[in-house]
Amino acid sequence: MSPLTLTVDAPSHSYPIFIDTHLQAALARELAQYCSRKAAIVTNTTIAPLYLEQVQAACKTAGIDSFTIILPDGEAHKNWETLNLIFDGLLQNHAERSTTLIALGGGVIGDMVGFAAATYQRGAPFIQIPTTLLSQVDSSVGGKTAINHPLGKNMIGAFYQPQAVFIGLDSLKTLPEREFAAGMAEVIKYALLGDVEFLSYLENHMDAIQAQDAQALRHIIGHCCQMKADIVAEDEKEHGRRALLNLGHTFGHAIETEMGYGVWLHGEAVAAGMVLACRLSEQLGNISTADSQRAIDLIARAQLPVDAPTFAFATWLEHMQHDKKVVNGEMRFVALQQLGAAYMVKGITAADLRTVVPHA
Amino acid sequence: MSPLTLTVDAPSHSYPIFIDTHLQAALARELAQYCSRKAAIVTNTTIAPLYLEQVQAACKTAGIDSFTIILPDGEAHKNWETLNLIFDGLLQNHAERSTTLIALGGGVIGDMVGFAAATYQRGAPFIQIPTTLLSQVDSSVGGKTAINHPLGKNMIGAFYQPQAVFIGLDSLKTLPEREFAAGMAEVIKYALLGDVEFLSYLENHMDAIQAQDAQALRHIIGHCCQMKADIVAEDEKEHGRRALLNLGHTFGHAIETEMGYGVWLHGEAVAAGMVLACRLSEQLGNISTADSQRAIDLIARAQLPVDAPTFAFATWLEHMQHDKKVVNGEMRFVALQQLGAAYMVKGITAADLRTVVPHA
């Protein structure tokens, strides 16, 4: 299968996404051109035994002097303490402002290493090598970097674009089923927020996708990356349309933060959050119960949770008020105008929410 | 005395510097235009009793809903723990992405609050109200924000420009003498690196400056801000000329880091560092011993240290290698071609350094 190259034309910086059957092939072809002569490979304890050697070898072949920083795995570690391990490693190895940070791993690694790159010596270059479906279709593209704060997910971060993104479809073979499903939540998100034909595609090819058919994987990853690239080119810093990519995320972040980071996977929380966004859209009179059911069925077929956990209503509200979309104290939600067309809805009241979220 | 308004035309963002005899007058005239409807005033335990009420009142008059975050004072607190106190305060008070952070204090407050603004929800607006001479002439202008890492000063940060800078000459009246002197180090730096006429001005007016004559203060602050604005307009992210503003800072940062943050004031370390930069420039055959002596005399008249502390030579080298100007392992220094003209010198060897720094 031929490799695919997309371009993210972000206003601050334009860069390629290389999608290839084999990660090693893409690295062999392109790494030398996008990486400095010195690189820090940052990964975690789960990914290191699987792919680190490959990336180290690719660096060596390309004449890049690399060293490695290995972090603990999981959303629970997406915090300042772990970020500081990156800074420690960079300084101990005399990393310079021009040293390239290579993020090798899933969304947590990509977000954290991107933020480390954005802030190390006020900005070092970085490369994304996403190894999970979620990071390949969503978090590695577009330059959102962040760590969590105990009071809110991704509250501390920066918009900072990578030099290049390298996606190997072969990395998905080692991905646990639960993680693959979590990635599918973001794939379904793209369909629901902006492309009803893609929704049909997913309905028609869910079995092939679940079986990790290479053609189907390349199609969905390429399609999601292209949608993301188009949105980021238009609205890099989320002043408008980019916020629609947060479909299901306001509810999802509340679930993740309240349950404790890492208890629900991000994709799982987004899945249940999208169902709540559908319910809200129903209540606004935009979509029918049958439309919601179509979304719920697809989410369930992707092995994802459709029911959010039950919290006290005040707990839901407290989390909503910490959301990054709040403006002048007013809560904003991404809702559906119809399946395949999201919009930003303002002026949602506590009373509106009360009928949507499961509360005691 | 009439107020003075300068403009910083940074490529990423253009903004004004208001210089006024009375801070309150400048705030009353301009704050409403540059601040959001909600603001977080961030200051420290030393500055709060002196100026907080003034700024709170200015917010109130301008119809701005403000809350306050008070931090411990000093360079020793310019770290993640203190930065996190800002994030805690912002989240507890439901600060939004559009909430303006107002940095009220000296260089440490300005650098930290600027970095908090750069990274809170991936970027909130901020305003600088520098209350020390050092922050008025240097650190509040140009968008360098940072915190320290145990292994290196200002190692973690961002380039992030404020919405406006408000300078009240009256804030210098409460400044301790030692802090005033520290600010003079940066003033002298501007003269040495780029303006020999300004060097003469400082020699001729040092008594008036030390007596805090209002005309003299307005002249030196305005002149330094204008020099900085010109350099930042040309080279916001320090790819070239802006690095010359680091005259004396490579040596100075080594002194600060090695002595323990806050033991030497930043300006004191820069003063002793500039003397070492002069010595290096002598050794390179650029300036005479008499030139160095002229710089040393001026530094001494400003009540600043001219002798750096003695460290093991390996200690000096270790710090130099962590400097942000290191490229491909090569140390770079800002040296003087002549008094009033700095340049970047590459290829300095350990042997060159050995004769310059005081070591055991």
Q: What confidence tens digit (pLDDT) does each residue in A233-247 have?
A: 999 999 999 999 999
A37, A93, A96: best to mutate for the B interface, most B CBs within 10 A: A96
Mean pLDDT of chain B: 96
Given CB atoms, is A120 within the 8 Å cutoff of chain B?
yes
Higher-confidence residue of A41 and B2: namely A41
Mean pLDDT of A5-32: 96
Same-domain pairing of A228 and A121: no
Contact check, Cβ <8 Å, B119/A119 = yes
**Final residue before a domain boundary, out of B174, B190, B207:** B174
Which helix (H) or strand (E) segment holds residue A315: the answer is: helix A313-321
The answer to whether residue B186 scores a pLDDT higher than 90 is yes
Which residues form the domain of A265? Answer: 177-354
Structure tokens, B156: 């973690």
Chain A CB contacts of B92 under 8 Å are: 151
Query: Is residue B82, in this structure, part of any structural domain at all?
Result: yes
Chain A CB contacts of B159 under 8 Å are: 122-123
Mean pLDDT of B166-171: 96
Same-domain pairing of A186 and A330: yes
Contact check, Cβ <8 Å, A97/B324 = yes
Given CB atoms, is B350 within the 8 Å cutoff of chain A?
no
What is the SS3 assignment for A154-194? EEEEEECCCCEEEEEHHHHHHCCHHHHHHHHHHHHHHHHHH
Same-domain pairing of A336 and A188: yes
Same-domain pairing of A32 and A137: yes
Structure tokens, B38: 């909600």
Could you read off the pLDDT of A319-333 as tens digits, one per residue?
988 888 888 878 899
Residue A74's pLDDT is 92
CATH code, domain with B120: 3.40.50.1970
Could you read off the pLDDT of B46-56 as tens digits, one per residue?
999 999 999 99
Query: Is residue A222, in this structure, part of any structural domain at all?
Result: yes
Residue B152's pLDDT is 86
Q: Is B348 annotated as a binding residue?
A: no
Could you read off the pLDDT of A165-201 as tens digits, one per residue?
999 999 999 999 999 999 999 999 999 999 999 999 9
Same-domain pairing of B108 and B137: yes
Same-domain pairing of B134 and B261: no
Q: What confidence category does residue A119 fall into, taking pLDDT thresholds of 50, 70 and 90?
A: very high
Hunting for tokens 């002439």 — which residue is that?
A: B137
3-state secondary structure of A85: helix
Q: What confidence category does residue B241 fall into, taking pLDDT thresholds of 50, 70 and 90?
A: very high
Same-domain pairing of B155 and B236: no
A156, A253, A317, A324: best to mutate for the B interface, most B CBs within 10 A: A156
A67, A84, A121, A320: best to mutate for the B interface, most B CBs within 10 A: A121
Q: Kindly identify which residue of chain A lies nearest to residue B327, measuring between CA atoms.
A: A96
- A91-95, B280-284, B319-323: least confidently modelled range: B319-323
The answer to whether residue B303 scores a pLDDT higher than 90 is yes
Tell me the C-alpha to C-alpha distance, in Å, between residue B344 and each of B241, B248, B267, B331, B353. Answer: 9, 12, 21, 10, 15
Query: Is residue B107, in this structure, part of any structural domain at all?
Result: yes
Residue A360's pLDDT is 85
Residue B48's pLDDT is 98
Whole-angstrom distance between the N-terminal and C-terminal Cα of chain A?
52
Q: What confidence category does residue A62 fall into, taking pLDDT thresholds of 50, 70 and 90?
A: very high
| C-alpha span between A187 and A177 (Å, rounded) | 15
Q: What is the DSSP letter of A310?
A: P
The answer to whether residue B279 scores a pLDDT higher than 90 is yes
Query: Is residue B360, in this structure, part of any structural domain at all?
Result: no
Amino acid at B233: A
The answer to whether residue B314 scores a pLDDT higher than 90 is yes
Chain A CB contacts of B156 under 8 Å are: 87, 119-120
Q: Residues A1, A168: contact at Cβ < 8 Å?
A: no
Mean pLDDT of B262-272: 96
**Chain pair A-B, CB pairs under 8 angstroms:** 100
Q: Which of B91, B123, B328 sits opposite A149 (nearest CB)?
A: B91
Contact check, Cβ <8 Å, A87/B321 = no
Same-domain pairing of B154 and B18: yes
The answer to whether residue A93 scores a pLDDT higher than 90 is yes
| Count of structural domains within chain B | 2
The answer to whether residue B331 scores a pLDDT higher than 90 is no
Tell me the HSE value of B348 on the side-chain side, using a 13 A CA sphere.
25
Q: Which of A45, A40, A74 is nearest to A55 (CA)?
A: A40
Chain A CB contacts of B331 under 8 Å are: none
Residue A188's pLDDT is 98
The residues of A carrying an active-site annotation are 122, 144, 186, 228, 238, 242, 246, 249, 253, 266
| C-alpha span between B267 and B224 (Å, rounded) | 15
Q: Residues A214, A21: contact at Cβ < 8 Å?
A: yes
CB neighbour list of residue B259: distance below 8 Å, 6 or more residues apart: B269, B309
Query: Is residue A359, in this structure, part of any structural domain at all?
Result: no
Query: Is residue B166, in this structure, part of any structural domain at all?
Result: yes
Mean pLDDT of B32-45: 98
Given CB atoms, is A305 within the 8 Å cutoff of chain B?
no
| C-alpha span between B169 and B25 (Å, rounded) | 11
The residues of B carrying an active-site annotation are 122, 144, 186, 228, 238, 242, 246, 249, 253, 266
Mean pLDDT of B193-214: 97
Same-domain pairing of A168 and A196: no
Query: Is residue B359, in this structure, part of any structural domain at all?
Result: no
The answer to whether residue B328 scores a pLDDT higher than 90 is no
- A85-89, A147-151, B41-45, B268-272: least confidently modelled range: A147-151
Same-domain pairing of A267 and A120: no
Contact check, Cβ <8 Å, A119/B158 = yes
Mean pLDDT of chain A: 96
Hunting for tokens 């954005």 — which residue is that?
A: A118
Same-domain pairing of B110 and B186: no
Which helix (H) or strand (E) segment holds residue A321: the answer is: helix A313-321
The answer to whether residue A107 scores a pLDDT higher than 90 is yes
Q: Is B153 annotated as a binding residue?
A: yes
Q: Residues A141, A225: contact at Cβ < 8 Å?
A: yes
Q: What confidence category does residue B325 fall into, taking pLDDT thresholds of 50, 70 and 90?
A: confident
Contact check, Cβ <8 Å, B123/A98 = no
Given CB atoms, is B153 within the 8 Å cutoff of chain A?
no
A38, A119, A236: best to mutate for the B interface, most B CBs within 10 A: A119
CATH code, domain with B349: 1.20.1090.10
Q: Kindly identify which residue of chain A lies nearest to residue B116, measuring between CA atoms.
A: A156
Q: What confidence category does residue B257 fall into, taking pLDDT thresholds of 50, 70 and 90?
A: very high
Contact check, Cβ <8 Å, A158/B122 = yes
Given CB atoms, is B94 within the 8 Å cutoff of chain A?
yes
Mean pLDDT of A94-115: 97
Contact check, Cβ <8 Å, A91/B321 = no
**Final residue before a domain boundary, out of A143, A159, A174:** A174
Chain B CB contacts of A158 under 8 Å are: 118-119, 122-123, 158
| C-alpha span between B282 and B313 (Å, rounded) | 20
Q: Kindly identify which residue of chain A lies nearest to residue B158, measuring between CA atoms.
A: A122
Same-domain pairing of A9 and A135: yes
Contact check, Cβ <8 Å, A155/B120 = yes
State whether ipTM is beyond 0.90: yes
Structure tokens, B34: 């540059």
Q: What residues of A form the annotated binding site for NAD(+)?
A: 73-78, 107-111, 131-132, 144, 153
**Final residue before a domain boundary, out of A174, A194, A213:** A174
Residues 172-231 of B with CB under 8 A from A: none
Given CB atoms, is A37 within the 8 Å cutoff of chain B?
yes
Distance from CA of B123 to the nearest CA of A (A): 7
Query: Is residue A86, in this structure, part of any structural domain at all?
Result: yes
Chain A CB contacts of B80 under 8 Å are: 80, 84
The answer to whether residue A1 scores a pLDDT higher than 90 is no
Could you read off the pLDDT of B77-125 as tens digits, one per residue?
999 999 999 999 999 999 999 999 999 999 999 999 999 999 999 999 9
Amino acid at A73: D
Contact check, Cβ <8 Å, A87/B155 = yes
Tell me the C-alpha to C-alpha distance, in Å, between residue A240 and each of A29, A331, B88. Answer: 36, 15, 27
Mean pLDDT of A280-286: 96
